[in-house]
């Protein structure tokens, strides 16, 4: 246990983070980026901001993907900075949120490896934009991307939290079935650890964290049910194994009934509306007319993601006006920071491709 009173710890970080949040709002950086007439003008807005390194990379390379790597590095460093302010169990929670960034990078790396070794496709260009620095665990990203056999990948991950999951999948399964099972289990393992960590927090911190992440888990489970239950017509038992075992969606009789039906009889929109009435009729940001995609059910998943974003904003706004002495402020700061970096990335890309300010605003919401 920490030797300091939680009120002292959170009082200090409250002052630090509220100052940062206030500056994020006052700087009007995103608004200025959106109003910039050209990409060069947009990049100029970054030069006198905390995102100056992003502008410098553009000056030296003109490469948007290098700029995105700098934004990712900024996000990683932000997590590390916040852990310096914290003590006790909340440090483990922040580190696990950093582990989610690492996990996403790992999945991207393995996808490139799969494309190269299994699909025999060139990856040199894309692999240059892989984040290769240490994030949390000692992973040799370069060796991983250059592995010639799945067994080498497993060996490289053996001393990390991902080793057990990777070792449970054979090279033959990877070759015949792809990466779906592996990625699903990696995600599931991350959430299992997340809930375990949340359950070790103080009562107030636990209540705040669960209120946030259970919404995310419910919507993730709902997307899984609709996507794999209706559009990919998977067997009910196989889908049930993919659900995260928390929240109202996984435990509901409606979900069980949905899985018990024949795939062709499953009504995805009705299930969505049962849990979140009105979500099915939600207009997706950036949508103009119909959504074109080869992937079945993509619109339903976009709506679920859109709704999740809205709910997160509501929850974090509520947190910012509530008890200042909980981990909630930290989570709210992470959300606002990530939202800002994602908006910067989307805006820079939009300016690069010559989209109008109105269109970019529609996409980012």
- CATH number of the domain bearing residue 347: 1.10.132.50
Co-location of 25 and 121 in the same domain: no
Q: Is the pTM of this model over 0.85?
A: yes
95 and 75, same domain (yes or no): no
Domain end marker among 201, 226, 254: 201
- The total number of structural domains that make up the chain: 3
Nearest to 220 by CA among 301, 296, 291, 280: 301
Based on the fold, state whether residues 94 and 37 are members of the same structural domain: no
Q: Are 75 and 338 in contact (CB under 8 A)?
A: yes
Residues 118 and 210 in one domain: no
Residue 125 CB contacts under 8 Å (≥ 6 apart), including other chains: none
CA geometry: angle 89, 140, 149, nearest 5 deg:
120
Same domain, 28 and 66: yes
Token pair in block for residue 348: 């820079």
Residues 9 and 77 in one domain: yes
Count of CB atoms situated within 10 Å of the CB of 172: 9
Query: In terms of domains, do 96 and 44 share one?
Result: no
Residue 239 domain boundaries = 203-285+293-326
Q: What is the pLDDT of residue 315?
A: 85
- DSSP codes, 240-267: HTTS-S-HHHHH-HHHHHHHHS-GGG--
Identify whether residues 219 and 316 lie together within a single domain: yes
39/348 Cα distance (integer angstroms): 7
- Alpha helices by DSSP H, listed for the chain, are 6-26, 29-35, 39-46, 52-61, 64-85, 89-117, 124-127, 141-145, 150-157, 163-167, 171-177, 180-198, 203-226, 236-240, 247-251, 253-260, 268-275, 298-320, 328-352, 357-364
135 and 81 inside one domain: no
Q: What is the pLDDT along the chain (365 residues), one digit of tens a residue?
A: 445 566 666 777 777 777 777 776 667 888 999 999 999 999 999 998 889 999 999 999 999 999 999 999 999 999 999 898 888 889 999 999 999 999 999 999 999 999 999 999 999 888 999 999 999 999 999 999 999 999 999 999 999 999 999 999 999 999 999 999 999 999 999 999 999 999 999 999 999 999 999 999 999 999 999 989 888 889 999 999 999 999 999 999 999 999 999 998 999 888 988 998 877 666 665 443 333 444 556 667 777 878 878 888 888 888 877 777 788 888 988 888 888 899 899 999 999 999 999 999 888 86
Q: Which of 145, 165, 146, 138 is nearest to 154 (CA)?
A: 165
Together in a domain, 239 and 167: no
Give the residue from 201, 224, 257 where a domain finishes. 201
pLDDT at 301: 73
CA torsion through residues 148, 153, 155, 156, sign: positive
Q: In the block, which residue shows the tokens 């299930």?
A: 271
Radius of gyration of the chain (CA): 22
pLDDT of residue 157: 98
State whether 165 and 259 are in the same domain. no
Residue 1: per-residue pLDDT: 40
> 167 and 273 share a domain?
no
Instruction: Report which secondary-structure segment, H or E, holds 184.
Output: helix 180-198
């Amino acid at each position: 246990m920490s030797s300091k009173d939680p009120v002292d710890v959170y009082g200090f970080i409250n002052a630090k983070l509220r100052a940062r949040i206030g500056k994020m709002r006052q700087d009007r950086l995103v608004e200025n980026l959106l109003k910039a007439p050209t990409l060069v003008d947009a990049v100029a807005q970054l030069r006198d901001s905390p995102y100056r390194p992003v502008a410098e990379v553009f000056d030296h390379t003109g490469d948007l993907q290098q700029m995105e790597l700098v934004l990712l590095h900024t996000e990683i460093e932000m997590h590390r900075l916040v852990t310096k302010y914290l003590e006790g169990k909340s440090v483990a929670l922040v580190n696990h949120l950093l582990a989610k960034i690492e996990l996403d990078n790992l999945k991207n790396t393995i996808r490139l490896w799969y494309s190269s070794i299994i699909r025999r496709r060139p990856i040199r260009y894309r692999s240059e934009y892989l984040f290769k620095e240490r994030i949390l665990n000692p992973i040799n990203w370069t060796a991983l991307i250059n592995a010639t056999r799945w067994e080498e990948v497993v060996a490289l991950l053996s001393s990390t939290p991902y080793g057990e999951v990777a070792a449970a999948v054979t090279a033959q399964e990877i070759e015949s079935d792809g990466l779906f099972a592996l990625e699903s289990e990696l995600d599931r393992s991350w959430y299992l650890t997340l809930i375990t960590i949340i359950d070790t927090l103080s009562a107030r911190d636990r209540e705040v964290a669960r209120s946030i992440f259970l919404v995310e888990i419910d919507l993730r489970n709902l997307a899984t049910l609709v996507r794999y239950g209706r559009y990919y017509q998977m067997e009910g038992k196989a889908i049930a194994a993919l659900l995260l075992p928390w929240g109202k969606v996984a435990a509901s009789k409606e979900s069980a009934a949905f899985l018990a039906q024949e795939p062709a009889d499953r009504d995805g929109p009705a299930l969505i509306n049962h849990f979140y009435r009105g979500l099915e009729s939600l207009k997706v940001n950036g949508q103009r007319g119909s959504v074109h995609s080869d992937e079945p059910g993509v619109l339903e998943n976009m709506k679920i993601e859109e709704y999740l974003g809205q709910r997160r904003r509501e929850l974090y706004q509520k947190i910012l006006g509530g008890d200042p002495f909980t981990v909630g402020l930290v989570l709210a700061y992470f959300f606002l920071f990530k939202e800002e970096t994602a908006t910067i990335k989307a805006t820079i890309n939009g300016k690069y491709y010559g989209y109008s300010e109105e269109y970019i605003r529609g996409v980012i919401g």
